[in-house]
Amino acid sequence: MESLHRGRYRARLAGSAEDVARAQALRHLCFHRRAGSDADDFDSTCLHVLVEDRESGDLVCCYRLMVLAEGEAIGRSYSAQYYDLSQLVQFRGPLVEMGRFCVAPGQPDPDILRLAWGMMTRIVDGHGARLLFGCASFAGTDADAHAEAFSLLRQSHLAPRRWLPRVKAPRVFRFAQALAARPADARRGFLAMPPLLRTYLGMGGWVSDHAVIDEAMNTLHVFTGVEVSAIPEARARALRNVAQGA
C-alpha cells in the first residue's frame, strides 16, 4: 500500500521489524511515560501504521490494526481479552480492530491526526470492513474523575442491544447502572472524553455499558464500535478525501 502525505507528514505501513520496534518504543513512551518497549503477542498479527515527520524522520504517531474476516473471528482480537463479545460473533462482513493509538508528546499539528485517520480509512475501505472497533481509554482508574463523560455515554452512546458487549474482566465499572439517575451535560461530557473516543463518537460510534479497570495500563477503557455504514455522510466524505490524498 502506498504511503499517504499531507503537509510535512507521511503515513505508511510498517515494512520491517525495525519499524515495529519504533512503534513499540513510542507506545511505551506515551502509555508509560518513560523509555521502553510496549510489545505483546498481538503485534505479530497486526498491521502497523506509522506517521512520520518527513523532514526529521521522527515518528510522531502510530497505531495497529487487526483485520478479521467476519464476526466469528472476533475472539482472536485484543478486545476479547477484556469483554465478552459473543454478541458480535453474529456480525456479518469484515471487521477491523484498532489499538495502541498514540501521538508523540508535544505534537499538536492537526495534520497528524488527519493523516492517521485518512490511512485508517484507506485500509478499512480496502478490506471492505463493516465495523471498526477497539478499546478507548480514560487516564487513570478513578471512575469518579470521569463521571461527566460516563454519564453522557450512558445517556446517548450505548451499543445497540444486539451488539452489546458483556462483562468478562474481573474489575469493571458498570457506569450504565451506577449513573442511571445522574443527568448528563452534553457539552461538558463530550469535552471530558478522551480525544480518540470523541472521534469515534463523531463517526456515530457506540460503547459498552461498562468500563474495564486496567491497573497494568493505569486506565479505564470502554469497548467502542463504529459501523461503517452509519458514519455521517459528511464525515465519511472528509475521511475519504484525505485517504485519497485530496
Q: How confident is the model at residue 78 (pLDDT cuts 50, 70, 90)?
A: very high
Q: What is the residue whose three cell numbers read 475501505?
A: 125
Region 45-49: what's the mean pLDDT?
98
Number of domains in the chain: 1
What would the 3-class secondary structure string for 83-134 be? EECHHHHHCCCCEEEEEEEEECCCCCCHHHHHHHHHHHHHHHHHCCCCEEEE
| Nearest Cα to Cα of residue 139 among 213, 204, 200, 84 | 213
pLDDT of residue 174: 98
pLDDT of residue 200: 96
Distance between alpha carbon 168 and the CA centroid of its chain, in Å?
Answer: 20
Residue 204 near residue 230, CB atoms below 8 Å: yes
| CATH number of the CATH domain containing 184 | 3.40.630.30
Question: What is the bridge-based pairing of β-strands 95-103 and 131-139?
Answer: parallel
pLDDT of residue 245: 87
Q: How confident is the model at residue 122 (pLDDT cuts 50, 70, 90)?
A: very high
| Phi, psi of 18, deg, nearest 5 | -65, -40
Region 41-47: what's the mean pLDDT?
98
Q: How confident is the model at residue 81 (pLDDT cuts 50, 70, 90)?
A: very high
Q: What average pLDDT is seen over the chain?
A: 97
Q: Per DSSP, what are the bridge partners of residue 24?
A: none
Element (H, E) at 142: none
pLDDT of residue 105: 95
DSSP code of 37? -
pLDDT of residue 39: 98
pLDDT in tens, 211-245: 999 999 999 999 999 999 999 999 999 999 999 98
pLDDT of residue 235: 96
**Per-position DSSP letters for 152-167, written without gaps between them:** HHHHH-BPPGGG--EE
Region 84-113: what's the mean pLDDT?
96
The answer to whether residue 246 scores a pLDDT higher than 80 is no
Structural domain of residue 17, as residue ranges?
A: 4-243
